[in-house]
Structure 1
Amino acid sequence: MSPLEPATLVIVGAGPRGTGLLERIAANAAELRPHRPLHIHLVDPHPPGPGRVWRHEQSPLLRMNSMAEDVTMFTDESSTIEGPVRPGPSLAEWAGQFSGRSPRFEPYAEPGDPEVLAELRTLAPTDFPTRRAQSAYLDWVFRRTLRELPPHITVQTHHATATAVTGPADGPQRVRLAGQAAPLDADAVVLTQGHLDAAPGAGHRALAEFAARHGRFHLPPEFSADADLSTLRPGEQVVLRGFGLAFVDLTVLLTEGRGGTYRTEPTGELTYLPSGREPVIHVGSRRGVPYHSKTGYRLQGPPAPLPRYFGSAAVDALLAPGGPLDLRRDLWPLMAKEIGFGHYHELFHAHAERTALPWEDFLAAYDRLDWYSADLRALVATSVPDPADRLDFEALDRPLTGLAFPTPEAFQQHLRDYIALDVTRRADPAHSADLGAFLALLSLFGQLPRVLASGRLTADSIAHQVDGWWFGFFSYLASGPPGFRLRELLALSRAGVVRFLGADIRIRADEATGTFVASSPSVPGHTVTATALIEAYLPRPSLDRTGDPLLRQLHAAGAVTEDVVSDATHTHRSGLLTITPADGRILDPATGPHPRRFALGAHTNLRAAAAFARPRSNSPGFRQNDATARALLRSLAANQDQGTQDQGTEELVHSA
């Protein structure tokens, strides 16, 4: 191949991750591919930009759990990347152009949906937008990225599903698309499919078979926007297992989505007015409480200078030669201290009247004390008089531990009181220390991928502490719904449409009655009998059971490696695709990092990096996009140079 002939790249997945990678290719092209032509095939059955999760074609009732000002697809001054920083507007800034609060951003076009346009015209930076508003923003980001590509880089979109990738490591790759006879030939392929479906595991298959035998309803873990809930009958008793964002979405679809409405009373209390088409929803989970409400305000004091205790130097020390690492024993004390620093920095700077020590004196003592030490607990108790202002992870993590209620109604009232206090606290800037803790919690993801990639954590720690406790705790504390959703939940509870089951719920399939029976130690002796069971959470990653046909083909061919960690005491199969952290190359079990196949996103063992981010947060996802884009551009150039050398050698041999 001549250096001036077009190289070809196939990106499978055109949602936010694929768009982010494309933006980084555009940003780095001037340095790494200034003149050489490149043709990019972008493959996705869903709209480029939004992709499947954020596509416009979903219920207008579904919303983001981030404020508009906290969503961006662009690098900024905080980004520690090798490529150029190219800033762009956040969702809030972009929406401002439709009301005149911001200048117009090119390419300018008003969304075709009048409801979305009306929302954007009134969207405040601290509002929680609909997913359709985010869809419009991601569509614009994609179109802007295409505009900013240099003329010698072209893009062709394919509204299709990729089903297979074949080809030698040292030669062209062939990507097959469903419904098309001719494959796409490529010099390199990147898999950016995002969150994926998975076939039910053995436990869920057994429940589905039970439901089928008895004419009942069972929904395995599934993306809530795609769930078919139409067969659930009005008044039917339904158990939802899971109390996170999927529960919130499913409840919205089963209540307001079925014609129910809310009314604000003169007292300010929200009342739910049923349509009569709703089922009765019984919800429980391991914790038995909903995810904490998102805060609806900004910091009241100066931002904490993060990181302080879990930065690169601390991780270097952890990764120094030594034995295996355990997250709770070795990492969590530093991580918890970092979160505590963010919490108390905001408390002392914004609400000093509620502290009993100058910040400088508190920090000097806090710096030298271990997180679990009695001296640190004494310091906090002395310096922060009100226990409500102190950070207590154990109480936050399992608020129902040790509690039992004599009747279901007593538990309903207890949980309503708990939720109401959470909503009030998270809406009150007087408690902005919670936001300080949240921002410190986010900062941990700047370093955690290094530890995960080091291979030093034990298999048991990754299985039960990282993929188990840690990500669950993070989501529960930091990735909950907007406050108004929990106010709606209170109204649904008062209306009797939603009933709380409790913590550590147990569900058994009763063959004698053909029903699902749910119970919880929160209300000893009480059971709920239901004719429907919904698993209200997303499917876990699984290469064995993936719903993506291309990954299924690669896995069946033995061409990809599952992220499996094994040691003398435990083997953990994560279900994730193994890639090299530095550049995103797919690990071929036979030959190692593949020279022509790459992957990025939620289905890979990098785990923690979201496709979009808060502005000025040095997003790990943006750093990965940049590193992979640069590796791709260099690889494509090297392949072309090698092809030219091989062609020259063949000509010399032929001439001889």
Structure 2
Amino acid sequence: MSAGPTLVVIGAGPRGTGVIERIAANAAELYGDRPLDIHLVDPYPPGGGRIWRQDQSPLLWMNSMAEDVTMFTDDTVPLDGPVRPGPALHTWAADVREGRTVIRTDPEILAEVHALGGQDFPSRRLQSAYLRWVYERTLAALPPGITVHEHTGHALSVSGPRDGRQRVRIQGRAEPLDADLVVLTVGHLDAEPDAGQQELAAFAARHGLVHLPPDFTADTDLTALPAGEPVLVRGFGLAFIDLMVLLTEGRGGRYEDGVYVPSGKEPVLYVGSRRGVPYHSKIGYSWEGERPPLPRHFGADQADEILDRPGPPDFRRDLWPLVAKELGHAHYHRLLTAHPERTAVDLSDFEEKYAVAAPGSPELAALVASAVPDPADRLDLDALDRPLDGVRHASYDSLQDGLRAYITADLERRHDPRRSPDLAVFLGLLSVYGQLTRFGDIGERWHGFFSYLASGPPGPRLRQLLALSRAGVVRFLGAGMTVEADEEHGVFRARGTTVPGASTEARALVEARLPDPSLRTTRSRLLRGLYEDGAAGTATGLLSVDPADGRILDREGRPHPRRFALGPYTTARSSGAFTRPRTGGPAFGQNDATARTALAFLRDLSCRDHVTA
């Protein structure tokens, strides 16, 4: 008789842990006490994986407060399997501090855990300790017949017939692993430079310049950026924040009473982007009172109706109006319930009229104007998204003052509970994300907008940015940033739309953004091999998967019965492998669907093997 089926999970970060947690939760119902071997493959330690590994600078933080981070399901998560609750990060830290939970970690990290409060922004290496504990707890929850085997190394390829066992080759291992099922949870990917980046790299090589392409900032060698020299930085999101930290505090600088004291080892960072502003500050207060009922205008019924239409949906035409309506609903519901003194209509009357008004219509604009007297209390998604559109400054010096005023105002608003409709919009964004995962590749506009509005840096980081700006270590370039290679002078030259006619030159350029998650440019031999083996990719290069359970699709749209993929490189990309408690957690629902499909397949396979034997 067979010893039992084999499942290989490639990727041991939080997504891989989440899949195994769902296997543990669903095994009693779907698999019983049958034997199963799970092989977990990753070059980095299980739990944190690459991004959340312990071995990184203690200066690098999460961009979420501790109370907003959990790896556990609750009754808001749409899943067919059982809920298995567990502590959010801040509760876990309190359990460790008070002796209810014991962890094995370095003394420095243990000290961080003991000092952690709910509204603190933990370091990523502290998060690694939490994720490791979740992983170990998950292993302990598996039934006795299910065993996990860890393999340190990169998975190089997956091969095998659709109706037979798969073979997984692992770096450093002579013999491949035989698998009945394979689940890819490989997370963010490295990529080869695209044509534009290759041209910039070649230009830099010709002229002895420094060009750092898109990369994970924690893994980038920054030693080539010299002290005191100008560096052009293209990108103003979280990769820039990491870069800013490592090139300032990471080089010995410090903050005293809100003033930056340089070490003398810092370069001068000239930063710009398409928007020309940093991501909005993370909201700095907790939710109180009634939550807006979500979804209301963009739920499963509306998604079903769009999916039933012929042809692929267009994001701007078909989806964005519903997104905008849902976010408006969240905003105004909160304003009318928590701050009614700033409105001129009661909730039921407003919501009745709001429900029938077309998104973007004059009727909707008139309704909002009559109900909300102060324009500062109205939701303007276009202004939020592109705050520098139409803004012009006569000089870069004027722009510095203008951007500092903008960042200061954003910080004040995002830390003011009187502006709590902003937090309601954040909850609306999470709700919308849960629906959009069903539509496959909808382009980058949504993901960029979500990250800019909902996944910005901690407030303290933006206060540091202001201090660096006042110290002259960071200089703002504004919106519409472009970079050209000036062959005549042998320099990179940056221009933007906010200061017309002005330019800035430097001998170093950093692309402060993550690599593109594309099958066409990925450095992953594993994913390139799957694509060459017939897996489908979208126009933007994402791996096509069945939104119902994550099975990899071929170019004819057929789900592979033995191969699954979850994560940001797939068409079912979600907002993150972990989430804020009680906000639905789309990734958790995806993990559950994949685990249940896999367990049912492996159970049936085990039964057939038993009969055959």
Report the TM-score range of the alignment, normalised by the length of the smaller protein. Answer: over 0.9
Helix, strand or coil for the counterpart of 1:474?
A: helix
RMSD over equivalenced CA pairs, Å: 1.6
Q: Residue in 2 aligned with 1:97?
A: 95
Per-residue CA deviation, residues 41-81 of structure 1 (Å, 9 max, x unaligned), is: 11101010100000011111111111111111111111221
Q: Residue in 2 aligned with 1:145?
A: 138
The answer to whether 1:284 aligns with 2:272 is yes
Measured after TM superposition, the shift of residue 498 of structure 1 is 0.3
Per-residue CA deviation, residues 401-433 of structure 1 (Å, 9 max, x unaligned), is: 112111110111001100000011111111111
Written as runs of structure 1 = structure 2, the 5 A alignment for 1:438-453 is 438-450=426-438, 452-453=439-440
194, 197, 201: which one pairs with 1:204?
197
Written as runs of structure 1 = structure 2, the 5 A alignment for 1:387-426 is 387-426=375-414
Instruction: Check conservation: 2:251, 2:266, Cα contact below 8 A.
Output: yes
The answer to whether 1:250 aligns with 2:243 is yes
Distance 2:121 2:32 in 1: 41
Q: Residue in 2 aligned with 1:236?
A: 229
The answer to whether 1:545 aligns with 2:521 is yes
Q: Residue in 2 aligned with 1:500?
A: 476
Q: Residue in 2 aligned with 1:562?
A: 537
Q: Residue in 2 aligned with 1:567?
A: none
Distance 1:6 1:317 in 2: 42
Q: Residue in 1 aligned with 2:420?
A: 432
Please tell me the residue identity of whatever aligns with 1:66: S
Instruction: Check conservation: 2:431, 2:583, Cα contact below 8 A.
Output: yes
Please tell me the residue identity of whatever aligns with 2:275: R
Distance 1:555 1:390 in 2: 46
Distance 1:642 1:595 in 2: 16
The answer to whether 1:259 aligns with 2:252 is yes
TM-score w.r.t. length of structure 2? 0.97
82, 93, 96: which one pairs with 2:80?
82
Which piece of structure 1 moves more, 545-554 or 56-65?
545-554
- How many residue pairs end up in the alignment? 613
Please tell me the residue identity of whatever aligns with 2:100: R
Change (3 A) 1:287 1:591: closer
Instruction: Check conservation: 1:263, 1:271, Cα contact below 8 A.
Output: yes
Please tell me the residue identity of whatever aligns with 2:595: A
Which piece of structure 1 moves more, 59-68 or 379-388?
379-388
604, 614, 620: which one pairs with 2:586?
620
The answer to whether 1:18 aligns with 2:6 is no
Instruction: Check conservation: 1:300, 1:346, Cα contact below 8 A.
Output: no
Per-residue CA deviation, residues 358-407 of structure 1 (Å, 9 max, x unaligned), is: 22222222222222122222222222221111111121111111121111
Return 5+ residue gaps in structure 2 as ranges.
none
Per-residue CA deviation, residues 619-639 of structure 1 (Å, 9 max, x unaligned), is: 111111111111111111222
346, 349, 352: which one pairs with 1:358?
346
Please tell me the residue identity of whatever aligns with 2:87: P
Distance 1:313 1:173 in 2: 38
Distance 1:191 1:299 in 2: 35
Which piece of structure 1 moves more, 46-55 or 585-594?
585-594
Per-residue CA deviation, residues 140-159 of structure 1 (Å, 9 max, x unaligned), is: 00000011111110011011
Distance 1:374 1:560 in 2: 46
Please tell me the residue identity of whatever aligns with 2:35: P
Helix, strand or coil for the counterpart of 2:136?
A: helix
Instruction: Check conservation: 2:437, 2:571, Cα contact below 8 A.
Output: no
Q: Residue in 2 aligned with 1:582?
A: 548
Helix, strand or coil for the counterpart of 1:423?
A: helix
Instruction: Check conservation: 1:293, 1:483, Cα contact below 8 A.
Output: yes
Measured after TM superposition, the shift of residue 609 of structure 1 is 4.5
Helix, strand or coil for the counterpart of 2:186?
A: coil
Please tell me the residue identity of whatever aligns with 1:192: T
Q: Residue in 1 aligned with 2:160?
A: 167
Measured after TM superposition, the shift of residue 93 of structure 1 is 1.0
Written as runs of structure 1 = structure 2, the 5 A alignment for 1:244-393 is 244-264=237-257, 270-321=258-309, 325-393=313-381
Measured after TM superposition, the shift of residue 324 of structure 1 is 5.4
Distance 1:32 1:124 in 2: 39
Which piece of structure 1 moves more, 204-213 or 368-377?
368-377
Distance 1:468 1:178 in 2: 33
Q: Residue in 2 aligned with 1:64?
A: 62
Instruction: Check conservation: 1:579, 1:586, Cα contact below 8 A.
Output: yes
Measured after TM superposition, the shift of residue 590 of structure 1 is 7.2
Per-residue CA deviation, residues 116-146 of structure 1 (Å, 9 max, x unaligned), is: 2222212121221111111110000000001
Q: Residue in 2 aligned with 1:599?
A: 565
Please tell me the residue identity of whatever aligns with 1:405: H
Q: Residue in 2 aligned with 1:483?
A: 459
Q: Residue in 1 aligned with 2:6?
A: 8
Instruction: Check conservation: 1:11, 1:42, Cα contact below 8 A.
Output: yes
Helix, strand or coil for the counterpart of 2:233?
A: strand
111, 115, 122: which one pairs with 2:115?
122
TM-score w.r.t. length of structure 1? 0.91
Change (3 A) 1:146 1:73: same
Per-residue CA deviation, residues 431-471 of structure 1 (Å, 9 max, x unaligned), is: 11111111111110121122x14xxxxxxxx6xxx323221
The answer to whether 1:633 aligns with 2:608 is no
Distance 2:534 2:348 in 1: 56
Instruction: Check conservation: 1:300, 1:350, Cα contact below 8 A.
Output: no
Per-residue CA deviation, residues 152-181 of structure 1 (Å, 9 max, x unaligned), is: 100110111111222222222221111121
Please tell me the residue identity of whatever aligns with 1:15: G
Helix, strand or coil for the counterpart of 1:231?
A: coil
Instruction: Check conservation: 2:8, 2:183, Cα contact below 8 A.
Output: yes
Instruction: Check conservation: 1:343, 1:436, Cα contact below 8 A.
Output: yes
Measured after TM superposition, the shift of residue 549 of structure 1 is 2.2
Return 5+ residue gaps in structure 1 as ranges.
265-269, 454-461, 564-572, 649-656
Change (3 A) 1:323 1:5: closer
562, 574, 582: which one pairs with 1:608?
574
Q: Residue in 1 aligned with 2:151?
A: 158
Helix, strand or coil for the counterpart of 2:287?
A: coil
Which piece of structure 1 moves more, 130-139 or 598-607?
598-607
The answer to whether 1:184 aligns with 2:177 is yes
Instruction: Check conservation: 2:4, 2:606, Cα contact below 8 A.
Output: no
Please tell me the residue identity of whatever aligns with 1:434: D
Instruction: Check conservation: 1:299, 1:346, Cα contact below 8 A.
Output: no
Instruction: Check conservation: 2:5, 2:605, Cα contact below 8 A.
Output: no
Measured after TM superposition, the shift of residue 644 of structure 1 is 4.7
Instruction: Check conservation: 2:162, 2:560, Cα contact below 8 A.
Output: yes
- The share of aligned pairs that are identical, in percent, is 58
Q: Residue in 1 aligned with 2:49?
A: 51
Helix, strand or coil for the counterpart of 1:307?
A: coil
Distance 1:324 1:175 in 2: 34
Distance 2:294 2:562 in 1: 37
Change (3 A) 1:300 1:32: closer
Measured after TM superposition, the shift of residue 323 of structure 1 is 6.0
Change (3 A) 1:590 1:295: closer
Please tell me the residue identity of whatever aligns with 1:397: D
Instruction: Check conservation: 1:173, 1:189, Cα contact below 8 A.
Output: yes
